[in-house]
Amino acid sequence: MSQAKNPRIHADILPALAAVAAPTNKILAIGSVTAKGTPDAIAPVLPFEVRATVRNYLAGKIEHWYFQAEGYGVVFIMNASSTAEAHEILEKLPLGVAGMMEFELIALSPLKPLALLIGDPPAA
């Protein structure tokens, strides 16, 4: 998980958004195969990865799961309150343990600009 500054932060464009409180309630997890994740290396691990992913789905940690249509890797919508929580879950998956998959994690919250449109004061 990268600790680089997120270029999607809009505080410079609309500073009033920074004052609007909205909880993180979902995480967008975009998975990419690492250099270790060759087809020959992934193949024997994949059945374990699928079972572990299904367990997380059944536990309510993964809400939606997709495969990238234009690329190679998975995309999950996760029920987590922080990227740290999502990272902990994903690192325990077999491909994560083997260093063959890494994720870009994006915290999602309710649409904050709506608070500005309806005139509600920022929550403290």
pTM of the predicted protein model:
0.78
Domain boundaries, the chain: 35-117
Q: Quick one: the chain helix, strand, coil %, rounded to 5?
A: 30, 20, 45
Residue 11, pLDDT > 70, answer no
Q: Which tens digit of pLDDT belongs to each residue from 49-65?
A: 999 999 999 999 999 99
Q: What is the DSSP string of 31-87?
A: EEE-TT--HHHHTTTHHHHHHHHHHHHHTTSEEEEEE-TTSSSEEEEE--SSHHHHH
The architecture that CATH gives domain 35-117 is: 2-Layer Sandwich (3.30)
Question: Would residue 90 be called left, alpha or beta, if left means φ above 0 and alpha means ψ between -120 and 50 degrees?
Answer: alpha
Q: Which tens digit of pLDDT belongs to each residue from 66-115?
A: 999 988 889 999 999 999 999 999 999 999 999 999 999 999 988 877 77
CA angle (9 as vertex; 12, 71 as ends), nearest 5: 140
**C-alpha neighbours within 13 Å on the C-beta side of residue 32:** 9
Q: 3-state DSSP call for residue 118? A: coil
Q: 115: which residues sit within 8 A by CB, 6+ positions away?
A: 20, 22, 122
pLDDT in the model for residue 82: 94
